[in-house]
Structure 1
Amino acid sequence: MFKVFITLGIISLLGDIVYEGARSVSGAYLNFLAAPAIAAGLLAIGEVLSYLMRLLGGVLAQKTTSPKKFWSLIYIGYSVNLAIPLLALTNHWFIALILYFVERLGKGLRAPVRDVILSEVSEGIGKGKGFGIHEVIDQLGAVGGPSILGFLLAYHQDELEIGFRAGFSILGIPAILSMIAISYAYVNYPNPRSISLEKKSITTRKLGRNYWIYLAGSTTVVTGLLYWGFISYYLQDLAEISIIHPSEVAFLYLIAMASDAVIAFPIGLLYDKYRSLALLFTPITAIFIPVFLFINVERVSLYLASILWGLSMGGVETVMRASVADIVDYSSRPIAYGIFSTAIGFSILINGVVNSLLYQIMKLDWIILVTLILEVHAIIIYGVLIRLEKDNR
């Protein structure tokens, strides 16, 4: 079990090098290709496609009785990462946007199945701790990818096009290595427990009241947590007026991912001890991100915003994912993760489009206010969930 647990971490690490490297400069690259500001918000459509695919992946995982088909969803999902090196070949922002969408489809297809397997192989060490350790390994890749892009953009600072193209091309190597690692994981854990010989019915009846309350709180949190595609576009504008260097867009994302890695394990431990109380961490940190981004803008405040964004994402990727496995039982986990992911995707779309439109008309104070309102509402909803859990003990 532990061998598979570590291998899943390595697979995610390699995948993160690819898509987090590309994601770190997604808005900046569209800006470089002369895309309008709304294009940064449209990047969030890719997140919706990703999360819709997670729902499909969850349904397929729920229905399949074949271990090979179960694992093939992961293999196909990671193979789609090969869309990222193709970004090096395009000169038009719309084609680049489509390639980002394609990568997101693969991410969505593989995620529910991977999380189901991860929840099984991490039970011996605690789900919160397991997802936390996985996130730490995962974030090593999330730091590595932006580092590659940041270094190449800094090295080619007078020829940014060369820096972008070289970076995207190199990301093809870990994409191929991840598929090799999947084969190793399959050999060592060919029969996940979530697969039964009986055909499974697709139903939401077993999810329970606490799941839907949790889902409402989590989608509210993510709707208020600024989308990095939008932040990246904004940072590229700041680079054009020399507040930061263009290469710092990738390095700011690197700092965010490092912060994510630092918080993942501790917050996982807090979750194992305090359960839903740990969910409050993300909305509290998310409130302050737009404050540091838009008020008295300077390099230090941007790095502080980046750290807060990474801490917030650490909560999303660790505590939120672990919570699903604790709220629902084995038989309902694939569809529960699928519904959760789809709802999160639409939250990101609303977030990205609304904030991009507000930025386009320069209503930065409105962005700060909307974030505050949403995160306070999320804290209230989580408070209801915490109270219900206490009453059920």
Structure 2
Amino acid sequence: MPPGVDRVDDVAEVGGEPAGGRTSTVDSLPSRGLGAAGGGGSAWRVVVGFGVVSLAADMVYEGARSIYGPLLASLGASAVVVGLVTGAGEAAALVLRLVSGPLADRTRRYWSLTILGYGLTAVCVPLLAVTPLLGGAGLAVAAALILAERLGKAIRSPAKSALLADAASRVGLGRGLGVHKALDQVGAFAGPLLVAAVVAMAAGSLWPGLAVLALPGVLAMLLLLTIRARAAASPAAGGATAAGTPSVAGRKPLPARFHLFAAAMALCTAGLVTFGLIGFHLVRAGVVAAAAVPLMYAAAMAAGALAALLTGLLYDRAGPWVLIALPALVAAVPALVFGGGLPLAVTGALVWGAAVGVQDSTVKALVADLVPGERRATAYGAFAAVQGAGALIGGAAAGLLYEFSLAGLVVVVVVTQAVALVTLVCVLAGTRPAR
């Protein structure tokens, strides 16, 4: 798409006829939006540009996320509260996309929503640094800021994902989204390392590690505004911010296989325990010190980057069957992280990171392939909403089961992922191999 185009052009349903008469398949949807002009080189510039913005932004919210468990515990939260707050945060980031996704497709304000969402993250995370100074109100304010930061994620994600998927479709959805996720994960790796270093220098005090995240937050916003300004200056940017009228394809319901796939991924999300609960357990059980939790989170993010790249390449070469590895990864996490001992905990954190990497990259490639191009923001919003319901239920259930029976938690997750695997196989049985 020429820089600055703020819409995703019409693409027919999977198995239908896009404009121009080319046949669309589940493996390759034609794109005439982002990156279409200028060929693959232009598309790669869009992918990498968003990747660098995500890198800086991830330093902010993943750096903070790495110590949400210890932070909330220091403010007086129990394991149940940690599970509810972090689970509700993920649910807000996912469920509210049910509103922001259709809003993006209806108004075509993809860039505006993306900038607003990133702005909320850049503001809310550094403000968490003041919560230890607020006494009894600190826990409530921290919970509100965590939820507000996740609201920013909900606002920007469908719009950004639609723009990104349109560009990535020009170079291979799996590859393009995998490269973007790898850059994203560099920030997710660097942010927790930065927080860990600052917390260590502050003798274990958490607030300086949160305050320093204002710097990458400002950088992310400057980069995003620069990219948008250059896009607006492009002669090809005509109609970039104009509201569009949905086409006939845009009014069609989303495919049934998309909904079945969303259900399978919701089960995976429900079974993947939050890192907040993992960090809470590791500190309370004495497996690691609070200052080491961000280091483990950073390692998990590195594993996620590698998993995104690997599964993305396999997706383009061998097809979506690579996704059957996800339920197995999710099922292995609680047995490892709650199994006792540092080696198992580190292994579990790495597996957790790999599962997150696949969820945030290769899973999105199949979503983009299952729906028409002009409905991608709506699809990503609906998909995330179903995942959000899973995150909320899973977060609360994991917190409760953790308090009463770790063995029960492990069994519930394994059973859930067995159901997810069967559902996923039903979805993939009708797909065609990637070309």
Cα RMSD for the two superposed structures: 2.2
1:326-341 aligned within 5 A: 326-341=369-384
Equivalent residues of 2:249, 2:372 under 8 A apart = no
1:253 is displaced (CA, Å) by 0.6
Match of 1:97 among 135, 143, 159: 143
Counterpart check, 1:73 vs 2:121: no
Partner of 2:258: 211
1:120-135 → structure 2 map (5 Å cutoff): 120-135=166-181
Cα deviation code 1:254-282 (max 9, x no counterpart): 11001001121111011112322011111
- Check the 8 A contact 1:116/1:194 in 2, yes or no: no
Question: Is 1:115 matched with 2:165?
Answer: no
Establish whether residue 226 from structure 1 lines up as the match of residue 269 from structure 2: no
Match of 1:244 in 2: 288
Distance 1:113 1:177 in 2: 21
Letter of the 1:176 counterpart: V
Aligned to 1:61: 104
Gaps of 5+ in 1: none
Structure 2 letter corresponding to 1:83: C
User: Alpha-carbon deviation of 1:224?
Assistant: 1.0
Greater share of helix residues, 1 or 2? 1
1:259 lines up with 2:299 in the alignment: no
Deviation at 1:135, TM superposition (A): 0.5
2:266–2:390 CA contact under 8 A, matched in 1: yes
SS of structure 2 residue aligned to 1:233: helix
Residue type of the alignment partner of 2:110: F
Aligned residues of 1:80 and 1:103 also touching (Cα < 8 A): yes
Alpha-carbon shift at residue 388 of structure 1 (Å): 1.7
Contact 1:131 1:268 in 2 (8 A): yes
Q: Which moved more, 1:350-359 or 1:181-190?
A: 181-190
Partner AA of 1:276 in structure 2: P
Q: Aligned pair 1:153/2:195, yes or no?
A: no
1:187 match: 229
Question: What secondary structure, in the 3-state scheme, does the structure 2 residue paired with 1:247 have?
Answer: helix
Tell me, what secondary structure is at the counterpart of 2:273? Answer: coil
**Alignment match, 1:278:** 322
- 1:152, CA displacement in angstroms? 2.1
**SS of the residue aligned with 2:402?**
helix
Q: How far off is 1:316 after superposition?
A: 0.4
- Over residues 325-355 of structure 1, what are the superposed CA-to-partner deviations in whole Å (9 max), with x where a residue is unaligned? 1000112111100001111111111111001
TM-score by length of 1: 0.92
The CA deviation at 1:23 is 0.3
How many aligned positions are there?
381
Contact 1:74 1:109 in 2 (8 A): yes
Give me the whole-angstrom Cα distance separating, in 1, the residues matched to 2:91 and 2:247: 26
Aligned-pair distance for 1:196?
7.0
Q: 39, 46, 52: which one pairs with 1:4?
A: 46
Number of the residue aligned with 1:45: 88
What is the rounded CA distance, in whole Å, between the counterparts of 1:204 and 1:302 in structure 2? 48
Deviates more, 1:25-34 or 1:138-147: 25-34
**Shift of residue 12, structure 1, vs aligned partner:** 0.6
Show the counterpart of 1:300: 343
Unaligned 5+ runs, structure 2: 1-41, 133-137
CA–CA separation in structure 1 for the residues paired with 2:406 and 2:363: 29
Q: Which amino acid aligns with 1:86?
A: L
Alpha-carbon distance change, 259 to 195 in structure 1, aligned in 2, over 3 angstroms: farther
Q: Any idea what SS the aligned residue of 1:389 has?
A: coil
Structure 1 letter corresponding to 2:103: L
**Does residue 21 of the first structure (1) align with residue 95 of the second (2)?**
no
Partner of 2:77: helix, strand, or coil? coil
SS of 2:290's partner is coil
8 Å contact from structure 2 (residues 327, 417) kept in 1: yes
1:288 aligns with 2:332: yes
One-letter amino acid of the structure 2 residue matched with residue 103 of structure 1: E
- Aligned partners of 1:202 and 1:335 also within 8 Å: no
Matched AA of 2:268: V
Q: In structure 1, what residue type is equivalent to 2:227?
A: A
Is the 1:84–1:171 Cα contact (8 Å) retained in structure 2?
yes
Taking the TM superposition and a 5 Å limit, the aligned residue runs for 1:337-376 are 337-361=380-404, 363-376=405-418
Matching residue of 2:18: none
Equivalent residue letter for 1:298: G
1:377 to 419, 428, 432: 419
Query: Could you give the per-residue CA deviations for residues 212-233 of structure 1, whole angstroms, max 9, x where no partner exists?
Result: 1111111111111111122122
Identity over aligned pairs, percent? 29
**1:85 aligned to 123, 126, 132, which one?**
126
Task: Report the CA distance shift for 1:356/1:197 in structure 2 as closer, same or farther (over 3 A).
Answer: closer
Residue 381 of structure 1: CA displacement?
0.8
Residue identity opposite 1:268 in structure 2:
G
Which residue does 2:17 correspond to in 1?
A: none
C-alpha deviation, 1:294, in angstroms:
2.2
